[in-house]
Amino acid sequence: MVQDDRLLEGEEPSGFQKLLGYRLVEWQEGRAVLELASEAIHTNRAGLVHGGVLTTLIDTACGFSATWCPFPGRVRRVLTLSLTTTFTGQARGGVLRATGLRRGGGRKIITCSGEILDAAGNLIAIGEGTYRYHGGSEHPEGVPLP
């Protein structure tokens, strides 16, 4: 398992990652953990973390859980085919922790599940997704970084 700020070494964070401010804090085969220090920009009109932010964290954690690549200079990618999210609580702020787990699937299509805990460790959202590997990403060695 890799756990530090160098997880995406060689690959720039996406524009959406920069916009939301989440970071990948743990990554290994079949598992990924993201953290987001939620702020006012992440809230809805009621002052709660927006459901779209929570759904994004689940989707992203699940996608990372399916794309671990231990080979330097290479990457694996997936495309989300379907995603369901169930909100089980609310968050007003603090650090949110999203965990994604690869659950199964075939050579090209896989399933993952995710959950988000608030700063107090309360479960605030769960989700499941179905993903399709990009060409070459179905293999553990992935493809060269562009």
- Long-range contacts of range 115-123, CB-CB < 8 Å, 24 or more positions apart? 115/58, 116/54, 116/57, 116/58, 118/89, 118/91, 118/94, 119/91, 119/93, 119/94, 119/95, 120/94, 122/89, 123/88, 123/89
In a domain? residue 104: yes
Per-residue pLDDT at 13: 83
Decide if 46 contacts 10 (C-beta within 8 A). no
Q: Is 94 left (phi over 0), alpha (psi -120 to 50) or beta?
A: left
Residue with tokens 């169930």: 86
- Residue 13 backbone phi and psi in degrees, to 5: -60, 145
Per-residue pLDDT at 2: 44
In a domain? residue 39: yes
Number of domains, the chain: 1
The residue count for the chain: 146
Per-residue pLDDT at 3: 42
Q: What is the pLDDT of residues 1-47, one digit of tens each?
A: 444 455 676 678 888 899 999 999 999 999 999 999 999 999 999 99
CATH number at residue 114: 3.10.129.10
In a domain? residue 103: yes
**88/121 Cα distance (integer angstroms):** 13
In a domain? residue 10: no
In a domain? residue 46: yes
In a domain? residue 65: yes
Q: What is the pLDDT of residues 34-83, one digit of tens each?
A: 999 999 999 999 999 999 999 999 999 999 999 999 998 899 999 999 99
Per the structure, the complete domain to which residue 106 belongs is given by 16-144
In a domain? residue 8: no
pTM attached to this predicted model:
0.93
DSSP classification of residue 128: E
In a domain? residue 2: no
